[in-house]
Amino acid sequence: FVSSSARGRLQLKKSFARIVLSPSNSRVHCSVGTETQVQTLWSWAQAQGVQGESIRPSEVTEGLGLLAQRPVGQGDEILSVPETVWINLATVQKSSLGKVTEGLKSWVAIALFLIHETSNSNSKWRPYLDTLPKNLDSPLFWSDEELAELQGTQLLGSVVGYLEFLENEYNKVVEEIMERNTDLFDPAVFTFDAFRWAFGILRSRSFAPLTGEELALVPVADLMNHGVGLDDKNPSWLKKSSGGQIWNIGKSSSNVLTVRASANFQSGEQILMQYGSAKSNADLALDYGFVEPNTESQFGGGIERDSLALSLEISPEDRFIDDKADILEINGFQCSMQFDLPRGQGPSDEMITFLRLSALSGPDSFLLEALFRNEAWGHVSLPVSRDNEEGICTSMLEGLRAALDGYSTTIEEDLEILGQEDLSVRKEIAVVVRLGEKRVMQELQTWFEARLEELDSLEYYAERRLRNLGLMDDGGYMTPWVFNE
Ligand SMILES: C[S@@+](CC[C@H](N)C(=O)[O-])C[C@H]1O[C@@H](n2cnc3c(N)ncnc32)[C@H](O)[C@@H]1O
């Protein structure tokens, strides 16, 4: 079982012990006193120069969120947060951790700073830090038992990959920075769990354009929850800079994060944003610890979140691997590819072309000759031969059957579980994600089965070529003189 082996592979530095956080299964992160904490946060933020007359932070079903204090129109600027309040690389550089974290990736430096500040009772960001969720519902924080619900899914593979990545990053900073500066890094505080928590916080609370090297935590702006069906054509977060104005020279910061409403909101309604229309439910789960179980939305058409990222690889043992690799490279592909397949769309043309090329063998392999190098991709973008087309269908159907067998439940069982009341957040995430993957696989099965049925009616390379040379008419009949020969 993958998750337990992943756990087994987490070899942590001994001196930096782990503290296991208790899993949270409730939708609401808030505890008693949260309303006071929110008030304190809002007063603190306003004193720091945060402006937002039409909004107010509050407790909502998703934890904390922003409520409209008056009607807000789409595109209205509802909040501005000066850079002096953000936590970004510049903040870390100016802090007591600045010198020792020099050269680290932005997110690693900010994660260490976040842990540092969380244990600093005099932190400038105290009211903000007090409102950050202690427990996150991303599968990165699930127990083995909870992860078992993801058996067979790609999401489980991603979780394992992320945990390995985090462990490597953690061990690197332990070795290169923490162990050399124990006066700054208390091993009881800078644990792997704290590091993972900081990563989870950064992942779930940062939005473009303040990501990557520009990564920043922006208090109050990061209280906006995700709204199903909202548009993200116009970004909600905008970085504004008064740079270039002469009077600004010498001032420490001139950047402001402005938040724009992505729809109209009534007074008292929660102001929401779109976390990413291209994200699948697995992406939402991994980054934010929630999923969209259905696409119904108050904001119009919802987005299809069921998706499958199908990995296909041409075997290194393939007799023609060099020629195939060459053709793939010329056309911007590799021997190992991942195809993102949203539900309802069937396999993409590129995926089918890739499959045809990978299955080329026997009499069809003349298409791999150097003579055809530049046209080969075009040739395999249409059916090559009955054998080739049949081959891709049967191998896909075999692969899909095996993948579906790898899940511990059926589609029907998942639907039944989703109908249950009092489903925990984590169980709902697991069931929605695995059901989504299975539905896409089932659709693919139907697609390739239908393809098998139509093999006799497809036009293949040989016929196409004769027709293009004018040697065959549209009805598939040889022109008489060819026939007579
Ligand atoms: C940017 S923060 C928003 C503020 C957060 N609600 C809080 O209490 O601090 C993102 C987190 O809010 C929660 N969240 C946002 N939108 C949600 C939604 N539509 N359904 C469930 N949880 C949501 C998730 O926990 C997510 O990781």
Q: Which among 237, 290, 292 is the best mutation to test ligand 1's pocket, defined by most ligand atoms within 8 Å of the CB?
A: 290
Amino acid letter for position 447? W
Whether residues 313 and 239 fall in one domain: no
pTM: 0.85
Per-residue pLDDT of 234-247, as tens digits, reads 899 999 986 544 44
Distance 201 CA to ligand 1 centre (A): 11
Reply yes or no on whether the pLDDT at 71 is more than 80. Answer: yes
Ligand 1 atom closest to 226 (CA): 16
Distance 274 CA to ligand 1 centre (A): 11
Domain end, chosen from 288, 320, 346, is at: 288
**Domains held by the chain: number:** 2
Indicate whether 375 belongs to any domain. Answer: yes
Reply yes or no on whether the pLDDT at 337 is more than 70. Answer: yes
At residue 205, the 3 state secondary structure works out as helix
At residue 479, the 3 state secondary structure works out as coil
Whether residues 261 and 312 fall in one domain: no
Whether residues 345 and 266 fall in one domain: no
Residues known to be catalytic: 275
Q: How confident is the model at residue 296 (pLDDT cuts 50, 70, 90)?
A: low
Pairing verdict, β 255-260 and 270-273? unpaired
Q: How far is CA 48 from the centre of its chain?
A: 33
Whether residues 326 and 404 fall in one domain: yes
Reply yes or no on whether the pLDDT at 37 is more than 90. Answer: yes
Q: Which among 55, 62, 199 is the best mutation to test ligand 1's pocket, defined by most ligand atoms within 8 Å of the CB?
A: 62
Higher pLDDT, 192 or 23: 192
Greatest alpha-carbon pair distance for the chain in Å reads 96
Distance 288 CA to ligand 1 centre (A): 7
Reply yes or no on whether the pLDDT at 300 is more than 70. Answer: no
Higher pLDDT, 465 or 190: 190
Environment class of residue 457 by beta-carbon count within 10 Å: exposed (0-12), middle (13-18) or buried (19+)?
exposed
Element (H, E) at 237: strand 237-241
Whether residues 116 and 12 fall in one domain: yes
Rounded to an integer, the average pLDDT of 87-95 is: 98
Whether residues 371 and 228 fall in one domain: no
Count of Cβ atoms closer than 10 Å to residue 311 Cβ: 10
Whether residues 241 and 332 fall in one domain: no
Cα–Cα distance for residue pair 276/235, rounded to 1 Å: 10
The CATH number of whichever domain residue 43 belongs to comes to: 3.90.1410.10
281-284's contacts with Cβ under 8 Å and 24+ in sequence apart are 281/305, 281/306, 281/307, 281/429, 281/432, 281/433, 281/436, 282/153, 282/154, 282/155, 282/158, 282/307, 282/309, 282/433, 282/436, 282/437, 284/226
Indicate whether 471 belongs to any domain. Answer: no
Indicate whether 223 belongs to any domain. Answer: yes
Indicate whether 334 belongs to any domain. Answer: yes
Cα–Cα distance for residue pair 210/239, rounded to 1 Å: 8
Q: Which among 67, 204, 294, 423 is the best mutation to test ligand 1's pocket, defined by most ligand atoms within 8 Å of the CB?
A: 204
Per-residue pLDDT of 376-430, as tens digits, reads 999 999 999 999 999 999 999 999 999 999 999 999 999 999 999 999 999 999 9
Indicate whether 299 belongs to any domain. Answer: no
Cα–Cα distance for residue pair 140/156, rounded to 1 Å: 9
Backbone angles phi, psi at 220, to 5 degrees: 70, -50
Ligand 1 atom closest to 228 (CA): 19
Whether residues 269 and 341 fall in one domain: no
Q: How confident is the model at residue 16 (pLDDT cuts 50, 70, 90)?
A: very low
Indicate whether 484 belongs to any domain. Answer: no
The CATH number of whichever domain residue 444 belongs to comes to: 3.90.1420.10
Closest protein CA for atom 19 of ligand 1: 226
Count of Cβ atoms closer than 10 Å to residue 459 Cβ: 12
Q: Which domain holds residue 328?
A: 307-453
Whether residues 264 and 371 fall in one domain: no
**Angle formed at CA 26 by CA 20 and CA 31, multiple of 5 degrees:** 85
Indicate whether 469 belongs to any domain. Answer: no
Cα–Cα distance for residue pair 177/432, rounded to 1 Å: 41
Per-residue pLDDT of 129-141, as tens digits, reads 999 999 999 999 9
Q: How confident is the model at residue 336 (pLDDT cuts 50, 70, 90)?
A: very high
Amino acid letter for position 277? S
DSSP one-letter code for 223: G
With a Cβ cut-off of 6 Å, ligand 1 is lined by 29, 62-65, 133, 204-205, 222-223, 225-226, 288-290
Q: Which residues of 393-414 are buried (b: 16+ CB within 10 A; e: fewer)?
A: beebbeebeebbeebebeeeeb
Cβ–Cβ under 8 Å, residues 428 and 435: no
Distance 78 CA to ligand 1 centre (A): 19
Whether residues 269 and 381 fall in one domain: no
Distance 63 CA to ligand 1 centre (A): 6
Cα–Cα distance for residue pair 434/280, rounded to 1 Å: 12
